[in-house]
Amino acid sequence: MNITKPTLLIDERKCKANIDRMVSKAKGRGLKLRPHFKTHQSLKVGEWFKEKGVEAITVSSLGMAKYFAGAGWNEITVAFPLNILQAELINELAADVKLNLLVDNVEAINAIKDRLTHPVSLFIEIDTGAGRTGVRFDNASEIQEVAKAIKSAEKLSLKGVYTHAGHSYKARSEEDILNIFKLTKSRIASAKEYIADLSADLEICMGDTPTCSVGEDFSGIDAISPGNFVFYDVMQVFIGSCQSADIAVAMVCPVVSINKQTREVCIYGGAVQFSKDNEEWNDKVIFGLIVQQDSKGWGEPVEGCYVKSLSQEHGIVRLSPKMFDEVKVGDLLTILPIHSCLTAEAMGSYLTLNGEFVDHYAQKNRDWPG
């Protein structure tokens, strides 16, 4: 591979292994898997899910839904609050696929219901603790109000309740994750009970990578929609969702400058490639971990080696004494990203270990790299 600029590598073997584990978990527990494609956003990676029998997917925008609908996906959930300004695109998609949207307020339902030309299913989004969007899990009257508004609209149907336990990203151990998992299950189940009399087949869907990776007892849950698990990242390692060996993407960046006074190096690769997500590690704020590349891809993080800071295009890397003494301008450093979703979005494509480019939704509006 002739890499000359920041490049996001994808390890197909690791990626498929991550997919296999989640598909097996869902099948073994009688769950419908609606994997969230916002992490990889790739038609090629999507095919790897199809090969394992996945039929329904989740995305984070209507534009992304259109991208995957064009590749033959027939059931798509847009896990983002219903945007009434995109009624035209909603109608376009609903004409071709089974479209599920999320809603947490009556205003959106009233604004969209008379503009629909095709049937659309709605999940009521439930806030089980993340505090971002969704009706609070214990607000029975509001959950019932939203459900009744859906049931009274001609082209809308009530699909069920949906939650993303985003607060699981603050966990830092399996025990933390399992506590959030248990509470999330209890809260989403209680939310469903408030409207159980309105429909006999309401679905409970929950989807965040930490709880879906670590949780085992999914009794009472019908479907899961995790996304980050397809790649994982350093953040997920620190949370306790996975091991560093499970991370299926890595950035490769050229060394462009060596500072002998600070004993740090500068790479071509900054915030516009990585994003500025960071984590605390050994009392330091880091933006990525350095790994040694080998013939099979890359190994474990190298002790004492990390991305110290990011500017727009610059990355400052701290290396171990041994590695610093060996590095030269023009060398390539391989780095595990803190947050693979944002790094993939920033990069807009992937390079396999065999040197083949893999598509990304963001790339369709960019020049093909290489």
Tens of pLDDT, residue by residue over 103-132, are 999 999 999 999 999 999 999 999 999 999
Closest by CA position to 24, among listed 188, 324, 229? 229
pLDDT of res. 365:
55
Instruction: Reduce the DSSP state of residue 205 to 3 states and report it.
Output: strand
Q: Which residue shows structure tokens 């498929």? A: 16
pLDDT of res. 332:
98
Give domain status of residue 285, yes or no.
yes
Is residue 297 within 8 A of residue 17, CB to CB? The reply is no
**What's the one-letter identity of residue 272?**
V
Report the chain's terminal Cα–Cα distance, integer Å. Answer: 10
As given in the structure block, the two tokens for residue 92 are 């376009």
Is residue 204 within 8 A of residue 220, CB to CB? The reply is yes
Helices then strands (H, E): number in the chain? Answer: 12, 20
pLDDT of res. 363:
81
In this predicted model, what pLDDT tens digit does every residue of 31-56 receive, in sequence order? 999 999 999 999 999 999 999 999 99
Residue 368, pLDDT above cutoff 70: no
Is residue 349 within 8 A of residue 357, CB to CB? The reply is yes
Residue 330, pLDDT above cutoff 70: yes
Kindly report the three-state secondary structure assignment for every residue of 101-130. Answer: EEECCHHHHHHHHHHCCCCEEEEEEEECCC
Bridge partners of residue 265, in order along the sequence: 258, 317
DSSP 143: H
Q: Which residue shows structure tokens 């490639």? A: 273
Measured CA to CA in angstroms, residue 288 lies from 45, 235, 343 at distances of 24, 9, 11
Say whether both 198 and 302 belong to one domain: no
**What's the one-letter identity of residue 49?**
F
CATH label of the domain that carries residue 54: 3.20.20.10
CATH label of the domain that carries residue 250: 2.40.37.20
Give the pLDDT mean for 302-309.
97
As given in the structure block, the two tokens for residue 7 are 């490049």
Is residue 78 within 8 A of residue 62, CB to CB? The reply is yes
Q: Which residue shows structure tokens 């309105």? A: 198
Say whether both 220 and 253 belong to one domain: no
Instruction: Reduce the DSSP state of residue 154 to 3 states and report it.
Output: coil
pLDDT of res. 370:
34
Give the pLDDT mean for 193-211.
96
Residue 262, pLDDT above cutoff 70: yes
Say whether both 204 and 257 belong to one domain: no
296: pLDDT confidence band, cut at 50, 70 and 90? confident
Residue 355, pLDDT above cutoff 60: yes
Alpha carbon 353 to chain centroid, angstroms: 22
The share of the chain scoring above pLDDT 90, in percent, equals 96
pLDDT of res. 366:
52
pLDDT of res. 287:
98
Measured CA angle at 130 (ends 19, 191), to 5 deg = 90
What DSSP element (H or E) covers 238? helix 234-239
pLDDT of res. 369:
38
Say whether both 254 and 158 belong to one domain: no
What DSSP element (H or E) covers 213? helix 209-214
Say whether both 31 and 88 belong to one domain: yes
Residue 248, domain extent: 244-365
Q: Pick the last residue of a domain from 231, 257, 273.
A: 231
Mean pLDDT for all residues in the chain: 96
Which residues, 6+ apart, have CB-to-CB distance to 158 below 8 Å?
121, 122, 124, 147, 150, 151, 195, 198, 199, 202
As given in the structure block, the two tokens for residue 41 are 């956003």
Residue 367, pLDDT above cutoff 90: no
Give the pLDDT mean for 183-209.
97
Q: Pick the last residue of a domain from 231, 252, 281.
A: 231
Say whether both 77 and 151 belong to one domain: yes
Q: How far apart are CA 198 and CA 240, in angstroms?
A: 39
Say whether both 123 and 260 belong to one domain: no
Say whether both 179 and 274 belong to one domain: no
Give the pLDDT mean for 3-14.
98
Give the pLDDT mean for 74-99.
98
Residue 364, pLDDT above cutoff 80: no
